[in-house]
Amino acid sequence: MSTPKYLNPRSRPATRAADLTRRMTLEEKVSQVVHDAAAIPPLGVPAYNWWNEGLHGVGRAGVATVFPQAIGLAATWNTELMHRVAVAISDEARAKHHEEVRRRGHSGWYTGLTYWSPNINILRDPRWGRGQETYGEDPYLTARMGVAFVRGLQGDHPRYLKLVATPKHFAVHSGPEALRHGFDARVSLRDLHETYLPAFRACIMEAKAASIMPAYNRTNGEACAASRTLLGDILRGAWGFKGYVVSDCGAIDDIYRHHGLAASREEASALAMRAGCDLNCGNTFCSLSGAVLMGLIGEDELDMAVRRLMEARVRLGMFDPPETVPYAQIPFSVNDCEEHRQLARRAAQESIVLLKNRGILPLGSGVRRIAVIGPNADDVETLLGNYNGEPSRAVTYLEGLRARLGKQAEVTHAAGCDLTGPRASSYAEAERLARNADVAVLVLGLSPRLEGEEGEANLIDKGGDRKDIGLPDSQEGLLRAVLNTGVPTVVILLSGSALAANTAAGDADALLAAWYGGEEAGSAMADVLFGDVSPAGRLPVTFYRSLDQLPPFEDYAMAGRTYRFFDGEPLYPFGYGLSYSTFAYSGLRISRRKIGAGKPLTVQVTVTNTGARDADEVVQLYLCRWGAPVPVPLRQLAGFQRISIGAGRSETVRFRVDPRQMAWYDDDGVPVVGAGRLGIAVGGAQPDASWGSRTGPDAPAGNDIVTTAFEIAGPEVSLAV
């Protein structure tokens, strides 16, 4: 007998998938559209579990390298590093998968090749417990980090996918967690296309993500997993997406149980699949057999979903001899290897944001006694975030300092208090150790036990969101007790989002944001504290002073949110971060002072390291639109590069600004480039609030920030959605 087309590696993946699908019975097809897909022995189709996690390392599959949580990776502002991290994750994922297949004959839960990462939702509000999984509040930063991550996961082979990346949660989704199964996120078309969709668009159209996951909630009345607007008009229509759509877990059930958009499992399943959802995390799609027989959906529509899923499996090499699939040759020894551990250390180093320094850092050789204090100082859990793997060895902040100093200095330790609660009885021990030290290092903040996904954060409401953005009371008391000793104090904040750490910002000698830093967090922090590495991380979110500065959590309008629309005085602004060196900007040039609408612009600037040590700098380019006919952001990130510059040396940095970045969005959400004046600011930080928003784009933008302006000539050009 001749070889079936679906087993012929020389045939096109779509042809192979169609051939395999037509050989299946109705029941066999239905068995393939749930995440725990059954085997079809007569066709040689092995069982396969589509559910795998790789947010910042291979998750929930035993020992794996654990990189900084996603928000920490975003704080590096380094797309090249992000790509390297994703390549390491995909190496370990492939190695684990093929080892599992060799041992069991097929892969199981969390050892497959289809990964439900990255989370590219916009972190519009710091209360959201899952903000730690995102790349922050800015659409452009999120898009660039997302594209780098997707490309690193999926590889660059012309025939085979290394893994399938699944950007989530499409598209308007960022809490409240407790309401997500029945909530309707109402947004204007301008906010939808200007803020909530750009990162998804980039991951689909640029990085060619092979899958996407809709959100649990409704958006403007439509369940995201059954939205003809999101899945049909935008995703498969305007963006030309050819991959498969997988629901979040239980989201198809939500369509009839909580959203009230269907009367039964059959109706909900048919509604979702007809809108473009191909795969169900859960078992609601098992009712599709009945839905076909009831005439709610045609078998040809089911066939389309199965073909998309089978094409993904073909492109992953699941039906080809392992020796013909290049990624099947990755050895299991790559998992948890030393090279990946060092990469995790570098990522943690680059993620650290120095928020304040009164000259105490870097610590010198004269420091002989260090008191390391705080509930997060020696806690592995706070290094790992959520959706994490298990490191073979994790270095806490206490362990990192002890390893760095050896016998050079005495390092003492006291937790001082619990993460939350009234426990103050240990303050006395913390104060005693601080008074006997040359410097106190307080490791405070949050934990995955205080923020996370629905049902995860076990020390607060099971929703996982925060009701307050300050330090927990017990830690605030500990901080004040140590500060009152008068000992020089360094405060390290761990969190998955912004903290209103007003006391530390005002009274500590140094303040650093360290996120959930992964398995090498302690080593990386020691490197920074003692000056082996100059910090250069930047905030991917605005640090507000209090919740009084924010609109209600349930309000999805962008007005008053994030640095793009917030006109108040933050504690620390988006893009902020200090260094142990200093930098000067000069020679800002643009390709032309006047361009036609729809034409790109090039920008060039010279950056000089005016300090005495080699250091990284994050060069940031912002635009402002002056006198636009519709509401526009106060300022908008349009380019960034992290560069390393030797002391006394200069580097020339170039940016390309595309028409889409110069556009304003009309009431229908269409990007339009029209005549008008735009300002450009380039520096190591966000321009001052007054730049562009009150006095025009020629207003001073702050120290070490250079500005210019240019004209766009009409007529108006409408860009593709």
The residues carrying an active-site annotation are 248, 451
Q: Find out whether 500 and 469 touch, Cβ atoms under 8 Å.
A: yes
Contact 491, 510 (CB under 8 A): yes
Provide the 3-class DSSP secondary structure of residue 111: coil
* 234 contacts: CB under 8 Å, gap ≥ 6: 197, 721
Distance CA 311, CA 285 (A): 19
CA 133 to chain centre: 5
What share of residues in the chain are helix, strand, coil (percent, to 5)?
35, 20, 45
Distance CA 33, CA 15 (A): 19
3-class DSSP assignment, residue 246: strand
Please name which of 174, 190, 166 lies closest in space to residue 137, comparing C-alpha atoms: 174
Contact 686, 633 (CB under 8 A): no
Q: Let me know: does 327 contact 93? Beta carbons within 8 Å.
A: no
- Count other C-beta atoms under 10 Å from residue 236's C-beta: 17
Distances (CA, A) of 430 to 160, 374, 417, 420, 623: 56, 8, 9, 16, 47
Residue 394 backbone phi and psi in degrees, to 5: -120, 140
Task: Name the residue among 152, 158, 279, 131 with its Cα closest to residue 203.
Answer: 152
Token duo for residue 445: 């903040």
Closest to 32 in 3D by CA, of 255, 268, 302? 302
Residue type, 574: F
Cβ proximity of 254 and 222 under 8 Å: no
Give the pair of three-digit tokens for residue 632: 């526009």
Of 306, 452, 284, the closest CA to residue 382 belongs to 452
C-alpha distance from residue 358 to each of 43, 490, 505, 537, 578 (Å): 69, 10, 11, 18, 11
In Å, what is the CA distance from 165 to each residue of 6, 298, 309, 316, 574? 23, 29, 14, 12, 28
Q: Which value, in Å, is the radius of gyration of the alpha carbons in the chain? A: 26
- What does the DSSP 8-state code read for residue 72? H
Rounded Cα distance, 589 and 593, in Å: 9
